[in-house]
Structure 1
Amino acid sequence: MARTTTRKKPQRRTWGTLRTLPSGNIRASYTADDGCVYFATRTFDSKIDAEGWLAHERRLLDRGEWTSPQTRAALKKSAGMTLREYAWRWMDAEYRLESQILNDRPLRPKTHALYTRLLDSRILPDLGDELLTAITPERVNKWWGWLGGEYSTPTSNAQAYQLLKAIYSTAVEERAARENPCQHKKAGKPPRPRDVQPLTPAELVKVAESVPEHYRAAVAVAAWCGLRFGELIELRRKDVHTAGERMTLSISRAATTVTTRGKSTLEVGPPKTDAGIRDVTVPPHVAEILRAHMKAHTGKGPESLVFTTTRGLRLSQTAFTKSVKNGFASVGKPKMRVHDLRHVGATLAAHAGATTKELMSRIGHTTPAMSMRYQIAAQERDILIADKLSELAKG
C-alpha cells in the first residue's frame, strides 16, 4: 500500500511560529510589535535551536533592543567594511544599476569626476580607513571642523559633506549602517551664490559685437536662449528646426570636459539635468542672426556642429571664454563669466513676462518631476516669450 505524506501544520505556540519544511528543517517566525511578521534569516536543524532563536528575539523585544533580523544580518555583513570600500562600491556603475535602493543609471561622467575628487581630497584621507558602522555623528563633526581648517573652499567642502550624507543615506536604507552620522544642521550648506551682474539688451549687443565674427551668434544664442556652454558647443544642424519664420532648438546633448585625477577627456552625453532635455523657441531677432551664421559657418550635413572654430573644430572653452571676457570688460563688467550669459537669458525672459514655471521649462533648470509637470503647459507660452524677447531687444 502506497504511503502518503501530509504537510505538517505550523506548531501553535504562545509566541512565534515553527513550521517544518519538506527538507525536515524548521523555519521560525514571529509577529513583532509593529504588526509585521519576521522570519529567521536561516532554517534550523532542530526544534530546540528554533525555539532558542525565538526566545532570543523575545528577549530583545522585551528589553527594547530589537531590530529586524534582516537589519542585523546586513549590519553583520558590513561590520568589517571600511567607508573607503563602501564609498567606491557606491560609485560603481554596475553596482548602482543592480542596487535595489539606488536602482539608478550610473553617475554622469562629470558628476563621477566631481565625487572622485571630493572622495580623494576631502573625505577619504581622514575617514576612509574607519569602519562604516563605527563612524559617529561626533566623528563626522570633528572631520567637518578639520575640513574647514584644511581647505578654504566653502563650496567644495559643502559638496563633500552632502556626498558623505548621500552615501550614508544609501547605507542606512541597505541596512549596512544603523544611522546617518551626518546630522550637523549647518554643515553641507553651500555659501550664498554670488550676485550675477545683469546685462541690458544694448550691453548684450555690444558684448556680441566685440567678439570675433564667428563667435557672435554663439553669444546671442547662449544669452537669449539660456543654453549652457556644453549644450551650445554640442548643438548640431539637425537640432535646429524651422517652420516658416519660427525657429526651435532641440536640446538633448551636452559636451563637457571631465578631469579625473589629472586626466581630461571630452564627454558627450545628456544635459546636466533631465529637465535639460527640452525644446527652446529662438527669439525672432536671434533666429535671423543664427540663420546667417549657419549659412556662412555651419556644414551642410545634419551632424555638422553649429558653432565651430574658424578651422571647423569644436569650440574651445578657453578661447571662447577669453573673447567673451573681453566683451564683458568692454561694457564695464569684467567679473562676469561665460556661464552668466545663461543667467542673463533667464533674467531677460523674466522681464518679458515668463513665470517661474515657464523659466524652469525654458532654461531646463529643475528636477525631472517638475520638468514633466511644467514643460507641456509651457511649450505654447514659450513662443510668446520668444516674441517678447525680440520686442525687448528692439527697445
Structure 2
Amino acid sequence: MGQVERVRRGGYPSEEAARRARDELLALSREEQAGRSWTVARWLRYWLSTRTRIRPTTKMHYTRDVETFLIPRIGQLILGNLTARQLNTAFARLAVTRNRSGQPQTACTLQHVHTTLRAALNAAVREGLIVDNPARRVELPARERPHAVVWTEARVAEWEATGERPAVAVWTAAQLASFLDYVRGDSLYALWWLIALRGLRRGEAAGLRWADVDLHEGQLSVVRQRTTAGYDVHEGPPKSAASRRTVALDRHTVRVLRQHRTRQQEQRTRRVGAGKVCHDSGYVFTGPDGLPLHPGYLTQRLRILVDRAGLPPIRLHDLRHGAATLAHAAGADMKTIQDQLGHATIRLTADVYTTVLPATAREAAEATAAFLLAAGKPGAEVKQQIDRSRDPERGRPATEPGPEPDRGRVGPRACAR
C-alpha cells in the first residue's frame, strides 16, 4: 500500500474542474488518496493478505465470502465512495440468488458475508482510508438460531413418510441408549460415549490427548482442537477462551476410557509384533496406525453407524446438543451446563442446547396439574363448611351472633395507628 501510483479520473465538465479535483486529491494524505483511488476488490484482497494471525478456518471463510459474494457485486466500486445504499442493494440481490443446493441464500449466509465485509471496512477505517464504515447501516433479515427438537414417535413417522428432517434434532434417552448399545463393539465407542454424555465438540474430541485426561481424578482438560479448512487439518487452541475448560467425568465414563486405553495399547502391541508401523502419538482417539483421526472421518463414520442402527438421523454436533439436553433433564442447572459445553454466554446454552425431553416435559406437566388440584381442595372444604353453617330455609346463618363485649371506645388516634 506504500507504492506511489498514478491516479486517472475523467468526466469533468472543464479543465478547471479537473485541476480542482487534482489539487483536492493531492492535498489528502496517502491513506485518503488510496481510499479515493482503490477499488473495493483491491482493498478486500489486500486486507485478506494481512490476516496472518487468524485461524485457517476463519481465513478460508473470509476468502470464500470475498471472492464468491463480495467482489462479484461491489468489487468494482471505489472504496472511498462506498455507501450504505449501494451495500443494501448488493445484499438484496445476493439474497435472491441460490446456493450450491439450489436453495435461496439463508439469513445465516448473509450474516456471515456481512460480518466479513464489516471487518474489512473496519480495518479500512483504522488505516485511515475511509472515515466511516457504511456496512454498519446495512439491513439484513434476522438470523434465527436453530432450536433443537426431539425425535419423538410422531416426528420419526413423518420423517419416514416424507424424508424431511428437522435442522437440529436430538435423540431421546432411549434412542441414545439404543445407539450406544449398538456401537459397543466399535473402535470409537469411547468417543461416541464421550461426546454424547459430556458434550465435546468434534475438534475437541479429535484433538484430545491422554496427557489431558486424568482418570484418577475423573476429569479431562480441553486445551486444543483439530479442525479442517477444506480437507486440510489444523491443530490449535480451542474455539474461544470459554472453550478452554475442565470437564468432569462420571465413574462409568472413566471406566469406558480405561477400557479404551487398554484396547489401544493391546492393538499397538499386536501391530508392532506383526512388524507393522504403529505410532505412539499420545492421542486418545486414533486410527490403527496410532495417528490422530481426520475430523471429517468422525462425521462420516457416525452417519454410517446411525444408518446401520436404524435410528432417525442426527449430525455429530447433535450428539453435543443431546448431551446438554440430558444434563438439563437430569437436573443440572444452566450455569453447570454452560461450563460443561464451554459456552461464552449462558443465553446461548439456554436458547439452543437445552431441549426438554418428552418424559421430563410430561413430569413437569403432571406436577403443575397436581399442584393446582391440591390448591383447589382447601377452597372446596371451606365452601362446604359455610354451606353447612347456613339455615337451609332462609339462607342465613343458623345462629345469630351475640353482642360484642364492651372493650371500651377506640379513638381515632388508636385506629390510625
Q: CA deviation at 1:327?
A: 4.4
Could you tell me whether the CA contact under 8 Å between 2:40 and 2:74 is conserved in 1? yes
Could you tell me whether the CA contact under 8 Å between 2:111 and 2:140 is conserved in 1? yes
What letter matches 1:86 in structure 2? W
Matches within 5 A, 1:131-280: 131-151=78-98, 152-154=104-106, 155-183=108-136, 186-187=139-140, 189-193=142-146, 195=148, 196-211=168-183, 212-243=185-216, 246-259=217-230, 264-280=231-247
Q: Which piece of structure 1 moves more, 160-169 or 80-89?
A: 80-89
The match for 2:262 is 295
Could you tell me whether the CA contact under 8 Å between 1:161 and 1:188 is conserved in 2? no
Q: CA deviation at 1:319?
A: 4.3
What letter matches 2:110 in structure 1? N
Tell me which protein shows more strand as a share of its residues: 1
The match for 1:109 is 56
Identity of aligned residues (%): 29
Alpha-carbon distance change, 134 to 335 in structure 1, aligned in 2, over 3 angstroms? farther
Alpha-carbon distance change, 150 to 86 in structure 1, aligned in 2, over 3 angstroms? same
Distance 1:283 1:87 in 2: 49
Give the match's secondary structure for 1:79: helix
Distance 1:258 1:217 in 2: 26
Distance 2:330 2:68 in 1: 44
Distance 2:128 2:332 in 1: 46
Structure 1, unaligned runs of 5 or more = 1-69, 97-104, 371-395
Distance 1:284 1:153 in 2: 46
Distance 2:174 2:308 in 1: 12
Does residue 81 of the first structure (1) align with residue 38 of the second (2)? yes
TM-score (norm 2): 0.61
Q: CA deviation at 1:200?
A: 3.3
Q: CA deviation at 1:83?
A: 1.8
Runs of 4+ in 1 over 6 A off after TM superposition: 70-73, 299-302
Distance 1:302 1:313 in 2: 8
What letter matches 1:120 in structure 2? E
What letter matches 1:334 in structure 2? P
Alpha-carbon distance change, 194 to 357 in structure 1, aligned in 2, over 3 angstroms? closer
Does residue 342 of the first structure (1) align with residue 320 of the second (2)? yes
Distance 2:93 2:117 in 1: 15
Q: CA deviation at 1:233?
A: 1.1
Q: Deviations over 1:310-361 (max 9, x none)?
A: 4434334454334423444567653310111111112222233333333222
Alpha-carbon distance change, 337 to 291 in structure 1, aligned in 2, over 3 angstroms? same
Alpha-carbon distance change, 209 to 318 in structure 1, aligned in 2, over 3 angstroms? farther
Distance 1:349 1:186 in 2: 38
Q: 2:249 aligns with which of 282, 299, 320?
A: 282
The match for 1:51 is none
Distance 1:324 1:77 in 2: 51
Structure 2, unaligned runs of 5 or more = 1-26, 99-103, 149-167, 270-278, 347-417
Q: CA deviation at 1:190?
A: 3.0
Distance 2:332 2:139 in 1: 34
Give the match's secondary structure for 2:282: coil
Could you tell me whether the CA contact under 8 Å between 1:233 and 1:255 is conserved in 2? yes
Distance 1:167 1:257 in 2: 23
Q: Deviations over 1:92-116 (max 9, x none)?
A: 4xx45xxxxxxxx711111111111
How many residue pairs were aligned? 283
Give the match's secondary structure for 1:279: strand
Alpha-carbon distance change, 114 to 323 in structure 1, aligned in 2, over 3 angstroms? same
Alpha-carbon distance change, 198 to 178 in structure 1, aligned in 2, over 3 angstroms? same
Distance 2:73 2:316 in 1: 36
Q: CA deviation at 1:230?
A: 0.9
Q: CA deviation at 1:178?
A: 2.7
Q: Which piece of structure 1 moves more, 83-92 or 333-342?
A: 83-92
What letter matches 2:35 in structure 1? S
What letter matches 2:299 in structure 1? T
The match for 1:378 is none
Distance 2:297 2:30 in 1: 56
RMSD: 2.9
Q: CA deviation at 1:168?
A: 2.0
Distance 2:281 2:78 in 1: 51
Q: CA deviation at 1:133?
A: 1.2
Structure whose CA Rg is larger:
2
Could you tell me whether the CA contact under 8 Å between 2:227 and 2:295 is conserved in 1? no
Distance 2:241 2:105 in 1: 28
Alpha-carbon distance change, 306 to 84 in structure 1, aligned in 2, over 3 angstroms? same
Alpha-carbon distance change, 73 to 357 in structure 1, aligned in 2, over 3 angstroms? farther
Q: Deviations over 1:4-50 (max 9, x none)?
A: xxxxxxxxxxxxxxxxxxxxxxxxxxxxxxxxxxxxxxxxxxxxxxx
What letter matches 1:176 in structure 2? L
The match for 1:357 is 335
What letter matches 1:297 in structure 2? Q
Distance 1:229 1:201 in 2: 21
